[in-house]
């Protein structure tokens, strides 16, 4: 069982798409174990996007991600890091395949609605920026015997 960090970005909240996009995570059977609405500070943005801070697009990215509240989440599931990245599609909504979240709802490279960790190591780092261990609540769905066959996970 793996965990990933997912952020529903300011454009997702402002466009009223939270419910529709969250429902895709429910439909897939991914388990939310932490969720909170926060306003990302410039310091948090620099920590989260440390690998992008020196890139030309970073000032615009920081302005965007701090402009309005976001919903920060942790999801749990088998191979959840890869599964969620595939659900999101390519970074740019213009390049993302139809049927993916970005492919269906975004036409922008920056305003691509949802962020998700790109590896289990990034997930651990990003979860640590936004959540304390006490804010993460593991739970077992009573339907798990209908989501996967025994021994599959």
Residues at the site binding ligand CMP, with contacts judged by CB under 6 A: 49, 52, 57, 61, 91, 109-110, 112, 115
Q: How far is the CB of 26 from ligand CMP (least distance, A)?
A: 21
Q: Which residues are catalytic?
A: 115
Smaller CB separation from ligand CMP, 104 or 147? 104
Pick between residue 6 and residue 33 the one whose CB is nearest to ligand CMP.
Answer: 6
Supply the minimum distance, in Å, between the C-beta of residue 130 and ligand CMP. Answer: 13
Q: Are 116 and 25 in contact (CB under 8 A)?
A: no
Residue identified by tokens 């000032």 is 59
Which whole-number Å values give the CA distances from 58 to 22, 45, 68, 129, in the listed order?
27, 10, 17, 18
Least distance to ligand CMP from the beta carbon of 140, Å?
30
Other Cβ atoms closer than 10 A to 21: 20
In the complex with ligand CMP, the residue whose CB is nearer, 49 or 131, is 49
User: Cα 136 to chain center, whole Å?
Assistant: 15
Instruction: List 32's β-bridge partners, or say none.
Output: 75
Residues 40/102, Cβ–Cβ less than 8 Å: no
């Amino acid at each position: 069982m793996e965990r990933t960090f997912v952020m529903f970005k300011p454009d997702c909240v402002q466009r009223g798409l939270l419910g529709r996009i969250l429902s895709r995570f429910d439909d897939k059977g991914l388990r939310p174990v932490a969720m909170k609405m926060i306003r990302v500070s410039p310091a948090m943005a620099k920590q989260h996007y440390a690998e992008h801070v020196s890139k030309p697009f970073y000032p615009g990215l920081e302005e965007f991600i701090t402009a309005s509240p976001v919903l920060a989440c942790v999801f749990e599931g088998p191979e959840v890091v890869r599964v969620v990245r595939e659900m999101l599609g390519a970074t740019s909504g213009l390049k993302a395949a139809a049927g993916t979240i970005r492919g269906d709802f975004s036409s922008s490279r920056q305003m691509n609605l949802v962020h998700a960790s790109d590896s289990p190591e990034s997930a651990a780092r990003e979860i640590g920026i936004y959540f304390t261990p006490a804010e993460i609540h593991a739970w077992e769905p009573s339907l798990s015997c209908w989501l996967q066959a025994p021994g599959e996970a």
